[in-house]
Structure 1
Amino acid sequence: MNHGFGVTRTGVGRVFVDLARGLTNSGCTVFAFDRLGHGESDGRFLDVSVPDELDQLSAMLDHVLADGNGPVHLVGHSLGGMESACLAARRPGDLASLTLWAAAAVFVDDVRSGQIQGKSLAPLRDTGVFDFKGQALGPRFVETAEAFDPFAELGAFTGKVFVHQGEADEVVPFEYAQKYADIWSENAVLYRYPDADHGWNRLPDRALLLQRTQADIAGLADTGTEH
C-alpha cells in the first residue's frame, strides 16, 4: 500500500489499517511503508520529489517480491496512487493488479499553474520553502513536477485496474480518474462515489471503498490472477 502526500503508511484516518485487517482476514499478506520524509522513515519532507519516490516504491516492490510468495496487488491513494500507476508502467510484469484511490495526476497541472491544492507557490519561489499543512516542502518537488508526465506509457501494464474516485473530491477532479479508466479501457473498473471527498471522510463512502477494494483484491488472489 502506498500512502498519499504528507501522510503516513496508516493512511488518512487509518484507512490503510482497516484495509490491511480486511485483506489479512481474506488470507493476504499486507505490506505498507512510510516513504522518506514521511511518518517514521528517515529523510526530510523538504527533499521530497516524485522521481525519488518512484525509486523508493520500486525498492519496496523488490522487498515484497523477495519476501512474499504470491502475486502482488498494489493499492495507492492520492499522490501515492499516481505513483503506483507509474510503477505499474515501469514494472508491468511484477504486479498482478492496481487499485487507485483518487490518484492525483492533477499535481502536475497544479504545479504548472503555480499552486498546490489551491495554495500559491509564490512563497516557494521567494524563500525556497512551501508550507504544506505545517510541513516544509522544498523546490525539488516543483522542479521535477513541471516536466513530469503521470500518464506516460501506462498502457504497458495489462493487469486489472480498479479506479476509485469521489465526485466531491476537492483535490482531484473526476476527469483524471476517467482518463485512467480510458487508458486501461477493458482492463479497468471505474467506481464513482457521488458524495466522497479526497480522503473518503464519510463513513458510508469509506465503508464502500474498503468493501470494494477488499473484494476485488481477494477475488483476484483466490483465482491466482497474476496478469
Structure 2
Amino acid sequence: MLKFIENNFFLIVRRIGLLFALLSLALIVFLGVFGYEKISSRATDQINTPVIELAKYQNPISLSLQSNFNQPELAIESQSVFSKEFDQQVEHIMTNLQSLPKGVIDQSDLQFKIKVMIKIKASNYSQALKLSYIESLATLTRQLVNVGGDQVNIDDFLHWHDQEFAQQVDHQAQQNLMKMGSARVDQMTGFISLLMAAVALGFFIMFVMMLAMLRIEKNTRK
C-alpha cells in the first residue's frame, strides 16, 4: 500500500514537473520574441516636406489641415548646391510675382526684399526644410498667377504661407516626440520582458533538473 502511494506520488510529481517545464519553455519563447520586437522599436525626428494648398488660402473654411507625411526629406549634399537651388527658387518666385497684375505688389527692390524675407522666415529650419519652404512658395505664387491674383494682398499671403508651413512643421515635430516617447516605453517593456524570460529560463532549468533527479531516484529504487 505504501509502495503504491509512493509510486503514484512520484508519478504525479513528475507529470507536474513536466507540465511546468513545458509552460516555462513556452513562456521563454513568447517573452523572448515579444521582448525582441519591443527593443527593436525605433522612431525618428525627421520632418517631411509640408504640403500647402492655395485653395486653403482662398477658402480657409472649406479645407482642414492636410499634410503629406510620406514625402522624404530632401538631402542636401553641399552648401553650394543648396545656395544654387535656393537662388533658382527665388528667381522663380520673382518671375511669378512680377507676372501678377500691376498694383498688387511693389516692384522696386522686389528680389532683394523677397530673398531677405525668406531667409529670415526660414532661418530656424534645416537646409532641406528651407528648400521645401521656398519651393512651396514658388509653387503657390505660380498658382496665384494662374488664377489671376488681382485681389490678393501679397503681405497677407506671404504671412499666411509662413504660418501654414510652421504649423505643419510643428505638428510633425510634436508627432515625432510622441513616437519617440512611445518607442522608449516599448524598449523598456522589451528589456523587462527579456528579464522575465531569463527568470522563466531559470525555472525551466530547475524543473528539468527536478525531473532528472526523479528519474535517477526511480532507477535507484528499481
Q: TM-score category by the smaller chain?
A: under 0.3
Flag the structure with more relative contact order, 1 or 2, with Cα contacts below 8 A and sequence separation at least 6: 2
Q: Greater strand share, 1 or 2?
A: 1
Q: Greater helix share, 1 or 2?
A: 2
Tell me the TM-score normalised to structure 2 length: 0.20
